Structure 1
Amino acid sequence: MVELVTGHANKAHATAEQAAGLNAGILGLDDYVLDVHDKFKITVVSANKVTIGTGELVMQGRHVSQGTPEDLIVTNGSQGQKRNDLIVCRYAKGSQNIESAKLVVVRGTPTTGTPTDPALNTTSPLDGGTTYDMPLYRIPLDGITIGTPVALFNVLKPMSDVWDSLTQRSTTWRVPYSSDSILLTRIGDICFMGGNVKFNNSGQNNYTKAQEKLPEGYRPVTANTPVAVFGGETTFICYGGANGTVTMLGNPNSAYAGCTGVWRTADPMPAA
């Protein structure tokens, strides 16, 4: 039977199960750490203790919050043996359908060979599971030494980041050795150069600095990034730098030429 959840029913009727179903439908059926607070950052305190920082996560639609850092004890390792432990966020449904979540260290099996991760509870509560583990970190132990923890979770970026990745801007760029301009487009942090030009002059270039510069908002992350590769009856390449400087290689040969280029930028998005 259909039920209106986000509406007044003159009684308590919205359930945690319904909220979890909505979260899973919007965010997906995977498990995510949200991009806020410490994002459950781990700090190794000693040979048998780690601290997990603050954070928010969503596991199978269930929202779990850690408002203060928490210390966890790792069982001491043994000389001459290796072991993988896993730090997980464990969901549990107990008697009277009371649900809870806590951080747990799941101990692996010591071995003199290559250690494997311990088994986890993987039946989703959305499918009726009463215990479910979301892995956060692998803790490798070699003898009595704790190695570098390995993060096992994905960080879910906010909608503002998704919006930025889809935002589009365009401008034109005047080409060296030509009175023509070509289209320069940016979508998210990816820039595209393309078009046709007629070069007015010739001249051999060996990484010669051009007078023209790339506009702010479209400049590549690293130096010597090919931003405009011209083909046709010429071999001529323009390389861009993070400060907008353009260097040239080859000879435009007074030719008609097509251009292409794709690169990544870290510049702020230009205004509309």
Structure 2
Amino acid sequence: MEIITGYTGKPHVTSEQDRDVNIGVVGEGSYVLKTGMQLAAEVSSNNEIKIRDGVLMHQGCTASIKKNTYDSLIITNGSQGMKRVDLIVARYEKNQDNRIESLDLKVIQGTPAESNPAAPQYTKGDIQSGDYVADMPMYQVIIDGLNITEVKKMFKVIGSNKDLSEKLEFQMLLNTDAQQIYTMYGGRVKVVSGTMIVNIAMNIGYAKLFSVEQLKNWFGDDHATSRLSIKTYNGDDVAQEVNFYAPEIWNGEIFQYFYPANREGPMRVNYRLEYVYG
């Protein structure tokens, strides 16, 4: 075991260790962080694209463009009547002789074609496995004739831990032995669970669990049953010896079907309704 974030009396933290920590926290992919202008591309002319400030993490390796500045990239002139796709990448490189590492923006020029030009190939690489080159695709630059007509973003912007906490936010609205109501993911998902007793009649084989009005009260007047998932099971085999089929929705109401049907009296149903909002 070797300490990383601690003073040992001599330089000891390696870039590989630092990348491993980042991969463990953020993930092993390549992302732009949610800071600054998030490395936004700005077409300055048909020969120049400016990449604004921000921070990226490429396989655990971080690099940045300072705030309120930009990196300028030169795009080679297009040809009249031809189309081309150039690729802007963030390229990690390690010098094979002195082991010095770098991460810079590069333009990989595509091959002109009269129609349907292909994007150029790039070097995927695996930094932690020791590859000397590893590209992170950033933008496709679409060139038609002499003009840059489009710059397509290819990277994913990853949120902060605060963003994740807000997305996963849990709020308990009701919590009793009979019923629990709560929301998750910042209110995007609502769950109603609990237990109830319904009375069943002989040789009917089903019982209504929830009315349209109950569902509206829980999930809103404009709720769509296609966004609702339901789970039930027989919560008390002493009260009623039956087996459950899957619950069904009919005319906006929820019914529980069971067998055998030659039973009557109280029947306990444990349930869980989950609704995903649009």
TM-score normalised to the size of structure 1? 0.69
Q: Which amino acid aligns with 1:117?
A: A
Hey, what's the Cα distance between the residues in 1 that align with 2:252 and 2:134?
58
Matched, 1:226 2:228: no
CA shift at 1:194, angstroms?
A: 5.8
Q: Tell me what 1:32 maps to.
A: 31
Q: Tell me what 1:21 maps to.
A: 20
Hey, what's the Cα distance between the residues in 2 that align with 1:96 and 1:56?
26
Q: Which amino acid aligns with 2:183?
A: R
Q: Tell me what 2:129 maps to.
A: 127
1:82-130 CA distances to partner (integer Å, 9 max, x unpaired)?
A: 1111111111112411111211111111112311111112222211111
Report the count of equivalent residues. Answer: 226
Q: Tell me what 1:89 maps to.
A: 90
- Cα pair distance change 1:48/1:260, threshold 3 Å: same
Q: Tell me what 2:277 maps to.
A: 264
Q: Which amino acid aligns with 1:190?
A: V
Contact kept in structure 1, 2:189 and 2:274, CA below 8 Å: no
Q: Tell me what 1:168 maps to.
A: 170
- Cα pair distance change 1:225/1:47, threshold 3 Å: farther
Q: CA RMSD in A?
A: 3.5
Q: Tell me what 1:243 maps to.
A: none
Q: Which amino acid aligns with 1:262?
A: Y
Hey, what's the Cα distance between the residues in 2 that align with 1:72 and 1:104?
8
Describe the SS at the equivalent of 1:19.
Answer: helix
Contact kept in structure 1, 2:80 and 2:146, CA below 8 Å: yes
Q: Which amino acid aligns with 1:49?
A: E
Matched, 1:185 2:182: yes
Q: Tell me what 1:45 maps to.
A: 44
Q: Tell me what 2:65 maps to.
A: 66
Describe the SS at the equivalent of 2:118.
Answer: coil
Matched, 1:235 2:251: yes
Hey, what's the Cα distance between the residues in 1 that align with 2:249 and 2:127?
64
Contact kept in structure 2, 1:229 and 1:236, CA below 8 Å: no
Contact kept in structure 2, 1:225 and 1:263, CA below 8 Å: no
Hey, what's the Cα distance between the residues in 1 that align with 2:163 and 2:153?
22
Q: Tell me what 1:268 maps to.
A: none
CA shift at 1:170, angstroms?
A: 2.8
Contact kept in structure 2, 1:226 and 1:261, CA below 8 Å: no
1:127-148 CA distances to partner (integer Å, 9 max, x unpaired)?
A: 1111221111111112122122
- Structure 2: stretches of 5+ with no match in the other structure: 199-212, 231-246, 254-270
CA shift at 1:33, angstroms?
A: 0.5
Hey, what's the Cα distance between the residues in 2 that align with 1:104 and 1:233?
57
Q: Percent same amino acid at aligned positions? A: 29
Hey, what's the Cα distance between the residues in 1 that align with 2:122 and 2:249?
62
